[in-house]
Each structure stands twice: as C-alpha cells, then as structure tokens.
Amino acid sequence: MTATESLYLPSPVIHPYATLGGPLQRLSRGLARYVVTKRVHARNDRPLVSFTFDDIPDTAFIHGARVLEDRGARGTFYIAGGLCGTIETDRRLIDASDCVELHRRSHEIGCHTFSHPVVQTLDADVFASELDRNKEFFASLMPDLALENFCYPYGIASLPRKLQVQARFQSCRGSRAGINAGVIDLGMLRAVPIDYKTDAAMIVRAVDETVRSNGWLIFFTHDVAPDPTWIGCTPQLLDGAIATALRSGCEVVTIHEGLRRIGSQGSD
C-alpha cells in the first residue's frame, strides 16, 4: 500500500461487490488491480489533476459541470447509456439531451458500459455487447463523439475482462486509491474519491503529493449537490478542490487531455 492509499483507507463502508466470489475470483480481481497490463511512462511537464464523474446523476451535470466551467476547466463524465433518464431511490440520472449538452460544452464523455453490470461477472461476449451497445447509444446521439476512455462500474474487473477492455480504449479508470506517477497502468488508472469522508485537508494532501511526484491525480465522484449522497459531494467541496489544484500549479485536464500530457495515445 502506498502512502497515498493509506490516506484514504480503510473505508468504513465495504462495497458489497468487494467480497464477490470465491478465492479464484478474488485472485483475478486482485491481479486486475495490481498487475500493470498497459504500461506507459508518464512524461508530463506539470502535475495534472482530473475531475471525473460516474453514472451520471443529474446534479453532476447541473452543478458539477458548471463549477468546473466557472474555473475555466472541463471534466470527464463516464456514462452508462442504459441508466440515462432513469430515476432511482435517491437520484435522477441525466437524460440523452443532457449528454449532448455536456459534449457541446466541451466536457469529455467516457464509457461506463451500457447497463452498469459488475464486469467481472460477464463473459467476453456479453461484455463486448455491453461496450458495443453503449457505443451505439452515443453514436445515435452524437455521430462525431469518440468514446476513448472507459471506467469500470464499481471499480472492479477480472484480469481477462481488463485485458479485453484495455484493448478497446485508450485508458480504463478504476477506483484503487492513489496518484498516477512514473510508470502508469492505463488498464486501470488509480483514482481518489470525493465523497462523504473527504474534507478540504485530504484534498490538499492529495494535491501536495501530486505536485511532489509530478503525478496525475484523478478525482472521482457521483452527485454534486448541497445535500449529497455518501458517494457524492457538495459544489463547495468540488470548487475548493479545483481551486486547490490550480493554486498549487497543477493543470486541470480531462482524461483525454491528461493522456496527451503524459505522452500517451490520445494526442491530437
């Protein structure tokens, strides 16, 4: 465990999928998480910070996108097309027209599968059809949109599914806490949550470590609301994180731009 990971663990909430399956499944999930399978040596000139949003609750569109734009920045929104327009117990997911609006405002849209399954439970064909279906969903909305980057639902995968998906996307983001620096695994980028247990001091520590290591810090959250769920944050906390990153000399970039800065594919 790195120093950065220890900042964020242990979480008092054990995700139900973290205990999925028997010993072999746990081994495969661990290999996916810890074995570098898509290696790149980062050559960024300046420390980088990205803000990413998963699923996406409509408050991330309403507040999250605006907070970034007010600071002259853009985010990456990992969207599962099958969730678009749905209403859950404690959140409403953005609809198709909101996706188009995000793209029009120069935010990046990434793939989060179509129906948000636990990737590890899928065989290769079913997983491929999940990815195809999401691609078709967005192609029908925005023919010019390229889904270049992927995020694992629940942050987990088996090693075979990781190898499968990393071949289709320029990067895949997980939820293993830490800063991407030096040799980076584009098959499962590390990320740091902004959620119910995050405060301004934790954000400052993570940004400071990013500056020290000239790394790439990828934050992730879900809803952005005055009264957020446990996996979301307030607009104020998000704005403070962006301000901290900028004040510390970091460049705030989308995942697409971050890949360009580290010298990986994705340049244009």
- Contact between 153 and Zn ion by CB under 5 A: the answer reads yes
Shortest Å distance, C-beta 179 to Zn ion: 21
**Could you give the CA distance from residue 147 to residue 162 in angstroms, rounded to a whole number?**
17
Among 48, 50, 55, 187, binds Zn ion (CB under 5 A): 55
The residue type at 73: A
Shortest Å distance, C-beta 193 to Zn ion: 12
Shortest Å distance, C-beta 23 to Zn ion: 26
- Contact between 130 and Zn ion by CB under 5 A: the answer reads no
Number of chain positions touching Zn ion (CB under 5 A): 3
- Strand pairing class (216-221; 76-79): unpaired
Looking at the Cβ atoms of 54 and 257, the one nearer to Zn ion is 54
Contact segment (CB under 5 A) with Zn ion among 53-61, 82-90, 142-150, 224-232 equals 53-61
Looking at the Cβ atoms of 63 and 91, the one nearer to Zn ion is 91
**Could you give the CA distance from residue 245 to residue 240 in angstroms, rounded to a whole number?**
9
Shortest Å distance, C-beta 145 to Zn ion: 19
**Closest CB to Zn ion belongs to which residue?**
54
* 53 beta partners: 77, 221
Contact segment (CB under 5 A) with Zn ion among 52-60, 84-92, 166-174, 208-216 equals 52-60
Shortest Å distance, C-beta 46 to Zn ion: 29
Looking at the Cβ atoms of 52 and 198, the one nearer to Zn ion is 52
Contact segment (CB under 5 A) with Zn ion among 13-21, 151-159, 176-184, 203-211 equals 151-159
C-alpha to C-alpha distances, 124 to 19, 156, 167, 224, nearest whole angstrom:
22, 15, 13, 34
Looking at the Cβ atoms of 38 and 116, the one nearer to Zn ion is 116
Per CB under 5 A, residues contacting Zn ion are 54-55, 153
